[in-house]
A and B are shown apart, each in its own frame.
Chain A
């Protein structure tokens, strides 16, 4: 809002409780599936039959921007709602029309992340959308390319391929660039590129969407005009709506010149990208860094801080309006609608200085006030973090919702350098999705392309060697390493097929325009236009692997308590024979476990993870980029545990794996959080370039008072020096959570950390709730 409009009369007339009311409205109605985008997309597709895919996609996106129903909700200062009804699930049948059919009657009642699906819409889906996309979707293409070897590895439950049914996502656009140049500058640039390269479809496609974005702004301007004319609109609201209309018209071409305008353009850019690809995790990057100049400019212009606070609050609410509709299987792995509006605060700038500013503090303060899972805030920590900011971070964590997570520059920067990223770019990294890191505005990283079940590999080795009379511990280890080599090759092939599928079916020209160096190369990100072109594969089950190998080593090969064959027989039997339960208790309690600072044990796992990461790094994807290893599960430790039988660590058949990725197996750590950090630090976190995840649960008492904060801050500095990549805290009392499980109605607003992102506790299924409750509570 321009300074002139923010008069005292306006400020006093404006209701104070607006943010709270808007927050309530956001969650008032049940989540529903909206077919609107799918129908518009399909309508457009029917008229562009013989055109190149990238042009068809652009026209479809632009058609959506021209025809999707729009709204300005009561009290909103920022415009741009993906759907009229808050928190609607969006389908993209062009990617995969089938999964929703299988779940059409269960999606409203499934255990995780339910959505209503009206009977009318179901009928439209069956009669109109499904027939059109059957045999013509990206899923069909990917399925037709899957080789027998890749299929076998999937059937064997060693690998899982992701992003085969929706947009790729996990990308951060170059927001600073568009905020500093404005939409008009991009349109000019694209027109220039087109005149120089008349046959380049990418430039043309991008221009189509940018022009659609201009018209979309104009539609909102007109809607605001209409609302101003309504008689029952109060005077203060008319001032706001008039300004909204004027701002929309300015932003069609101009670069923003205030904090308010910059937030508006930021949100609109994000919404257009959402219409384009319906993807998870189009994250926000280093928002405190690129937004602070606007914040300071507005303050200098005399805009009251209360107003800046309110617009930013409005932005926070908006990031909770977009939820991701996932299949039941995907929702099991990524429970609680992680949309991934992740923000990274602080961290080194290109001069190698710790960059923290007023807005960094402000954004943490505002989180404490609004307390919603998005934007998912994270803080980049390194040895130079000022204590004042570290304390603010600790105080926010003490709030108990797992926000912010912490990312360690001392690990992430060298990790990127080891992958050929320039020093300037590496220092500019940000969090994308849940716990993955990327170079914002310069990367198409396929950070969530596949899961690689290390525990399943160990299980295959156990059974392959069970009849070998000459089996030794080294032989077992070597067999695991050999299998890792084989399946790494297969998982890279599988990932490339999905990568190729997105190239053929889902180019994203609008987003690509905001990723360097696509404009210079004249290529979409799916074609390899980005500067950095990674693919990230997650190794799952490291903690259980460490525990299992240690038991086998000690029990069978050092103590000679039983033969290898006998042990495997017990596992095959799921410890069901008469002595089985005794044996299981023996395995759990009498052998040390990961998380208790046992170097010999931790190193077994560290060596295998290193082998996996280095092996993966040998492969190049179809865009010429490297494969990177990750070590996080988000919530996939439950379904991937389901894929593994009983294991030597005392885990029963189908039981979950360790949560998070690098956290100890539930209930197996008993020496407190310092010992956990020591164990985690033995796995070379620098190798987990794609991402890693550590959950630690603290009781609020540990963090009580100034002294509690100081000791917690000291703890975090040690975390930094131990070169652990990521940590997030769940500061909840057990009793609170148990009560929330019994009485969800009383805890609708209870935000809780579910491995890598925040969600509402009551939105999670009982299984995951139990998991959270069980995690060892590190309090004294």
Chain B
């Protein structure tokens, strides 16, 4: 299994490809996002394509120069970075957000980071697709305040074919987050033309959300900000010619969810 290298099992070290301070669209307040390397999915629209694949160090070629873009961090090393903006978190209700890739492929490391943050009174959030076994999800549950949970393609066959996702695993993960009373869950739907925005798919998402009593989702319009990275990775980017959604299209999707009595908040595109 790709996501269970030795370093991950111990949870003392984690492989990270970016730590981004002053993030204001990924959970409440002003936050620092830790992007963890590795993802079992292969979404063709991914804006962090460098994160896809196993938890192994990665290089790419930028402007003719070979660059190592991942780095092994100890828990203390990450926490030193996190603590730098503590004052900003305290004033804004912000904190630490773990993202990826799929951060939970390094669940032990995540659990350690989130636990340390909680000890310091720092608010925690994770961005996840939930595409990991339940035992991995359970490791972080005690230490998560907010889960920003991606819902993408609901058709089991399409999900497996297009992005490599087992929809039952995802649903199991989603529901355990949802049923943990200390966690606030925000379902996030990336609006990807030709993939997630088909009426049938939106209907399935709305049905699923309704069945669980969900009143609010965030919708994230497709963007092309990751396109450059495919070049650095020397990979073909299949979405290069996909146009952005028009405001009207986004509004229609928004209105659809509202018609299903689900509040839809457009976010993410800045």
Contacts of A704 in B (CB 8 A): 270
- Contact A779/B270 with A672-B21, A702-B24, A714-B30 known, Cβ cut-off 8 Å: yes
| Bound form: Cα–Cα A395–B20 in Å | 26
Q: Are A711 and B84 in contact (CB under 8 A)?
A: no
Q: Are A711 and B270 in contact (CB under 8 A)?
A: no
Q: Rank and list the top 5 A-B pairs by shortest CB-CB distance, nearest first.
A: A714-B92, A672-B22, A714-B91, A701-B270, A717-B91
Which residues from 82 to 106 on chain B have a C-beta closer than 8 Å to any C-beta of chain A?
Answer: 84-85, 87-88, 91-94
Contacts of A674 in B (CB 8 A): 21-22, 30, 84-85, 88
| Bound form: Cα–Cα A658–B92 in Å | 30
| Bound form: Cα–Cα A718–B94 in Å | 12
| Bound form: Cα–Cα A731–B21 in Å | 19
| Bound form: Cα–Cα A675–B88 in Å | 11
- Contact A721/B22 with A674-B30, A702-B270, A711-B92 known, Cβ cut-off 8 Å: no
Number of B residues whose C-beta is below 8 Å from A? 17
| Number of chain A interface residues as a range | 20 to 34
Q: Is A562 an interface residue (CB 8 A)?
A: no
Q: Is B11 an interface residue (CB 8 A)?
A: no
| Bound form: Cα–Cα A778–B22 in Å | 9
Q: Kindly supply a per-residue 1/0 record for chain B positions 10-28, scoring 1 wherever the CB is within 8 Å of any chain A CB and 0 otherwise.
A: 0000000000111111000
Contacts of B23 in A (CB 8 A): 780
Contacts of A597 in B (CB 8 A): 84
Q: Kindly supply a per-residue 1/0 record for chain A positions 325-361, scoring 1 wherever the CB is within 8 Å of any chain B CB and 0 otherwise.
A: 0000000000000000000000000000000000000
Which residues from 176 to 210 on chain B have a C-beta closer than 8 Å to any C-beta of chain A?
Answer: none
| Bound form: Cα–Cα A778–B21 in Å | 11
Q: Is A671 an interface residue (CB 8 A)?
A: yes
Contacts of B93 in A (CB 8 A): 714
Q: Is A673 an interface residue (CB 8 A)?
A: yes
| Bound form: Cα–Cα A159–B30 in Å | 42
The smallest beta-carbon distance between A411 and chain B, in angstroms, is 15
19 further A-B pairs in the complex, CB-CB below 8 A; given A672-B21, A673-B22, A718-B30: A671-B22, A672-B22, A674-B21, A674-B22, A674-B84, A678-B84, A699-B270, A701-B270, A710-B92, A711-B29, A714-B94, A715-B88, A715-B92, A718-B87, A718-B91, A779-B270, A780-B23, A780-B25, A780-B270
Q: Kindly supply a per-residue 1/0 record for chain A positions 668-708, scoring 1 wherever the CB is within 8 Å of any chain B CB and 0 otherwise.
A: 00011111001000000000000000000001011010001
Contacts of A773 in B (CB 8 A): none
Nearest residue, chain B, Cβ from A677:
B88
Contacts of A701 in B (CB 8 A): 270
Q: Are A711 and B24 in contact (CB under 8 A)?
A: yes
- Contact residue among A675, A714, A721 (Cβ-Cβ distance under 8 Å from B84): A675
Contacts of B84 in A (CB 8 A): 597, 674-675, 678
Total A-B Cβ pairs within 8 A: 57
Q: Kindly supply a per-residue 1/0 record for chain A positions 705-745, scoring 1 wherever the CB is within 8 Å of any chain B CB and 0 otherwise.
A: 00010110011011001100000000000000000000000
Which residues from 78 to 132 on chain B have a C-beta closer than 8 Å to any C-beta of chain A?
Answer: 84-85, 87-88, 91-94
Contacts of B25 in A (CB 8 A): 780
| Bound form: Cα–Cα A671–B24 in Å | 14
| Bound form: Cα–Cα A593–B83 in Å | 20
| Bound form: Cα–Cα A674–B19 in Å | 13
| Bound form: Cα–Cα A718–B20 in Å | 18
Contacts of A779 in B (CB 8 A): 270
| Bound form: Cα–Cα A67–B24 in Å | 60
The smallest beta-carbon distance between B18 and chain A, in angstroms, is 11
Q: Which residues of B contact A (CB under 8 A)?
A: 20-25, 29-30, 84-85, 87-88, 91-94, 270
Nearest residue, chain A, Cβ from B267:
A707
Nearest residue, chain B, Cβ from A675:
B21
- Contact A671/B88 with A702-B270, A714-B30, A715-B30 known, Cβ cut-off 8 Å: no
Q: Kindly supply a per-residue 1/0 record for chain A positions 750-780, scoring 1 wherever the CB is within 8 Å of any chain B CB and 0 otherwise.
A: 0000000000000000000000000000111
The smallest beta-carbon distance between B167 and chain A, in angstroms, is 31
The smallest beta-carbon distance between B157 and chain A, in angstroms, is 36
Q: Are B29 and A722 in contact (CB under 8 A)?
A: no
Q: Are A714 and B88 in contact (CB under 8 A)?
A: yes
| Bound form: Cα–Cα A718–B84 in Å | 12
- Contact residue among B22, B29, B85, B92 (Cβ-Cβ distance under 8 Å from A780): B22
Q: Are A780 and B88 in contact (CB under 8 A)?
A: no
Contacts of B29 in A (CB 8 A): 711, 714
| Bound form: Cα–Cα A499–B24 in Å | 50
Contacts of A702 in B (CB 8 A): 24, 270
The smallest beta-carbon distance between A537 and chain B, in angstroms, is 32
- Contact residue among A699, A708, A710, A718 (Cβ-Cβ distance under 8 Å from B88): A718
| Bound form: Cα–Cα A701–B267 in Å | 11
| Bound form: Cα–Cα A357–B136 in Å | 56
Q: Are A671 and B21 in contact (CB under 8 A)?
A: yes
The smallest beta-carbon distance between B247 and chain A, in angstroms, is 15
| Bound form: Cα–Cα A708–B24 in Å | 8
Nearest residue, chain A, Cβ from B90:
A718
Nearest residue, chain B, Cβ from A671:
B21
| Bound form: Cα–Cα A721–B22 in Å | 17
Contacts of A673 in B (CB 8 A): 22
| Bound form: Cα–Cα A715–B30 in Å | 8
| Bound form: Cα–Cα A704–B267 in Å | 11
Q: Kindly supply a per-residue 1/0 record for chain A positions 622-651, scoring 1 wherever the CB is within 8 Å of any chain B CB and 0 otherwise.
A: 000000000000000000000000000000
- Contact A722/B30 with A711-B92, A715-B92 known, Cβ cut-off 8 Å: no
Contacts of A780 in B (CB 8 A): 20, 22-25, 270
Contacts of A717 in B (CB 8 A): 91
| Bound form: Cα–Cα A711–B94 in Å | 9
The smallest beta-carbon distance between B87 and chain A, in angstroms, is 5
Contacts of A721 in B (CB 8 A): 87, 91
| Bound form: Cα–Cα A699–B24 in Å | 13
| Bound form: Cα–Cα A701–B270 in Å | 6
| Bound form: Cα–Cα A714–B31 in Å | 12
Nearest residue, chain A, Cβ from B32:
A674
| Bound form: Cα–Cα A778–B20 in Å | 12
Nearest residue, chain A, Cβ from B33:
A780
Residue contacts A-B, CB under 8 angstroms, 6 given? A672-B22, A674-B84, A675-B22, A714-B92, A715-B88, A780-B25
The smallest beta-carbon distance between A697 and chain B, in angstroms, is 13
Contacts of B94 in A (CB 8 A): 714
| Bound form: Cα–Cα A353–B108 in Å | 50
The smallest beta-carbon distance between B232 and chain A, in angstroms, is 17
Most chain B Cβ neighbours within 10 Å, of A678, A710, A718: A718
| Bound form: Cα–Cα A719–B69 in Å | 32
Which residues from 267 to 316 on chain A have a C-beta closer than 8 Å to any C-beta of chain B?
Answer: none
Contacts of A778 in B (CB 8 A): 22
Contacts of A714 in B (CB 8 A): 29-30, 88, 91-94
| Bound form: Cα–Cα A673–B29 in Å | 14
| Bound form: Cα–Cα A436–B87 in Å | 27
| Bound form: Cα–Cα A183–B215 in Å | 67
The smallest beta-carbon distance between A597 and chain B, in angstroms, is 6
The smallest beta-carbon distance between A720 and chain B, in angstroms, is 9
- Contact A722/B270 with A674-B21, A674-B22, A715-B92 known, Cβ cut-off 8 Å: no
